[in-house]
Structure formats: structure tokens, C-alpha cells
């Protein structure tokens, strides 16, 4: 074979091999870059989720601290739209209106010293005297709600053992308390949760004589 032709063939083989090597290098680089990007995105996503969870946990702790610290000192605590959901606020405002109407009714009656309809004791926990200390045990998402289990105690009543309750949060332009499930072992009523206790209080108006109903509405 002519040496010139042989040299051309050899040169073409070298170029072809170089081309294959370059293509493989490009593929490897692309794979490497893609892997780095995927890892970077996954890492950012994880950090974002962890940050969101941290923010939620801090928010929950802040809301509970405010709620328990003001219980017993703030007569309109359940009307606080920064803590409670719309349902709780509306129900409690209805309860407040019933109490105020009953106070006016009694003042005009022949028995002005009678006791008006009212909700007494702690409004947000099982213990009548309320809560002085709380500890968050668990936070979990259930459908579109957040369930928080807390251990509660009152340092002013050392003989009273700690008890556990469950608080349901919903997202209404931020986390809000939608309901509180009381400790059944401590209840002296059949009201298992905050929302039910408000509804039952409102139902009392239906058990009054017709004249009293009109005055309480």
C-alpha cells in the first residue's frame, strides 16, 4: 500500500479516536454537572423544608406561650384572631353576647343578684385553675391540619399530676388554633374539646323560657 495513503488512514483513525474520546469526555462532564445540580437542588430543598419546620415550631411555641400565659387574665382571649381560628372567635363572641345579655336581663328582673350564664375557670385547658407550664411532645401534619401534643402542669398545685392534651392548628393566613382536645380523665363534664364547650354553652339559650331567649339574643 502506498505510504501516503497509509499515513492518511492512520491519521483518520487517530482523529476518529480523538473525536470519540472528546465525545465521551463531554458526556462525562454533562453527567457530572447534572449530578452536581441535582444534589444542589435537593440540598436546598432540604434546607428550605428544615427552615420552614423550624419557623412553624417557633410559631407554635409562641402561640401556646401567649395563650396559656393570658388564660385567666384576659377575658377576651378567645377573641384573639392572632391565636384562634375564625370558628373559635365567632363562637366565643356569641358566648360573650349571651353572657352580657343575661347580665342585662337579670339586672331588670326581680332577682338582680342571680348568677348570669357564663363560662368559668380555664377556657383553654382541662384544669380549672389553668396552666403555668407546658412542654411540646410532638408535632405532626394530618391532612391540612397540624396536631400538637402537649404536656401541661400547674406549679401552684404540686399534687396535680401533669396531663396531656392535643391542640389542632389550621392555616388561616398563618397558623391558628382550631380546637383543643381536653384530657378526658380530668373533665367533670361531657365536653371533650374547646369547640364543643362553646357550642354547648350557646345551646343553653335554647333551654331558657321564650322571654329569656328574646332578651339574650
pLDDT of residue 179: 96
Query: What is the C-alpha separation between 137 and 149, in angstroms, rounded?
Result: 5
- The more confidently predicted of residues 71 and 208 is 71
C-alpha cell at 133: 407550664
Query: What is the C-alpha separation between 85 and 82, in angstroms, rounded?
Result: 8
pLDDT, tens digit, 9 for 90 and up, residues 103-143: 999 999 998 889 888 887 788 998 888 899 999 999 998 88
Q: Residue ranges of the alpha helices (H) in 71-155?
A: 86-107
In a domain, 48, yes or no: no
pLDDT at position 79 over 70: yes
pLDDT at position 46 over 80: no
C-alpha cell at 103: 347580665
Query: What is the C-alpha separation between 8 and 13, in angstroms, rounded?
Result: 9
- Residue with grid cell 408535632, as numbered in its chain: 139
In a domain, 83, yes or no: yes
C-alpha cell at 204: 343553653
Query: What is the C-alpha separation between 88 and 75, in angstroms, rounded?
Result: 14
In a domain, 11, yes or no: no
In a domain, 161, yes or no: yes
Confidence band, pLDDT 50/70/90 cuts, at residue 7:
very low
pLDDT of residue 8: 42
In a domain, 152, yes or no: yes
In a domain, 207, yes or no: yes
9-18, 85-94, 150-159, 186-195: which has the minimum mean pLDDT? 9-18
pLDDT of residue 48: 40
Q: How many domains does the chain have?
A: 1
In a domain, 17, yes or no: no
In a domain, 136, yes or no: yes
Q: Which letter does DSSP use for residue 183 in this model?
A: -
Q: Nearest 10 degrees: CA dihedral of 165, 171, 175, 178?
A: -40
H-helix or E-strand containing 45?
Answer: helix 3-70
- The more confidently predicted of residues 2 and 7 is 2
pLDDT at position 11 over 70: no
pLDDT of residue 24: 58
pLDDT at position 39 over 80: no
pLDDT of residue 51: 43
pLDDT, tens digit, 9 for 90 and up, residues 162-206: 999 999 999 999 999 999 999 877 765 566 899 999 999 998 776
pLDDT of residue 12: 54
Q: Which letter does DSSP use for residue 162 in this model?
A: P
47-51, 72-76, 164-168, 183-187: which has the minimum mean pLDDT? 47-51
Asked if 176 and 84 touch (Cβ cutoff 8 Å), the reply is yes
pLDDT at position 89 over 90: yes
- Structural domain harbouring 119: 70-215
Amino acid at each position: 500500500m502506498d505510504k501516503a495513503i497509509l499515513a492518511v488512514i492512520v491519521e483518520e483513525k487517530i482523529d476518529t479516536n480523538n473525536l470519540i474520546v472528546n465525545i465521551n469526555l463531554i458526556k462525562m462532564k454533562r453527567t457530572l454537572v447534572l449530578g452536581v445540580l441535582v444534589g444542589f437542588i435537593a440540598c436546598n430543598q432540604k434546607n428550605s423544608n428544615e427552615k420552614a419546620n423550624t419557623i412553624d415550631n417557633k410559631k407554635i411555641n409562641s402561640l401556646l406561650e401567649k395563650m396559656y400565659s393570658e388564660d385567666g387574665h384576659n377575658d377576651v382571649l378567645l377573641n384573639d384572631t392572632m391565636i384562634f381560628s375564625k370558628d373559635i372567635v365567632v363562637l366565643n363572641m356569641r358566648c360573650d353576647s349571651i353572657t352580657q345579655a343575661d347580665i342585662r336581663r337579670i339586672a331588670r328582673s326581680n332577682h338582680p343578684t342571680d348568677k348570669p350564664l357564663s363560662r368559668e375557670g380555664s377556657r383553654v385547658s382541662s384544669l380549672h385553675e389553668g396552666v403555668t407550664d407546658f412542654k411540646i411532645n410532638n408535632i405532626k401534619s394530618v391532612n391540612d391540619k397540624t396536631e400538637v401534643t402537649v404536656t401541661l402542669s400547674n406549679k401552684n398545685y404540686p399534687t396535680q399530676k401533669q396531663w396531656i392534651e392535643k391542640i389542632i392548628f389550621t392555616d388561616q393566613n398563618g397558623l391558628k388554633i382550631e380546637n383543643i382536645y381536653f384530657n378526658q380523665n380530668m373533665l367533670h363534664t361531657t365536653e371533650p374539646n374547646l369547640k364543643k364547650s362553646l357550642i354547648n354553652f350557646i345551646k343553653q339559650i335554647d333551654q331558657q323560657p321564650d322571654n329569656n331567649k328574646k332578651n339574650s339574643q
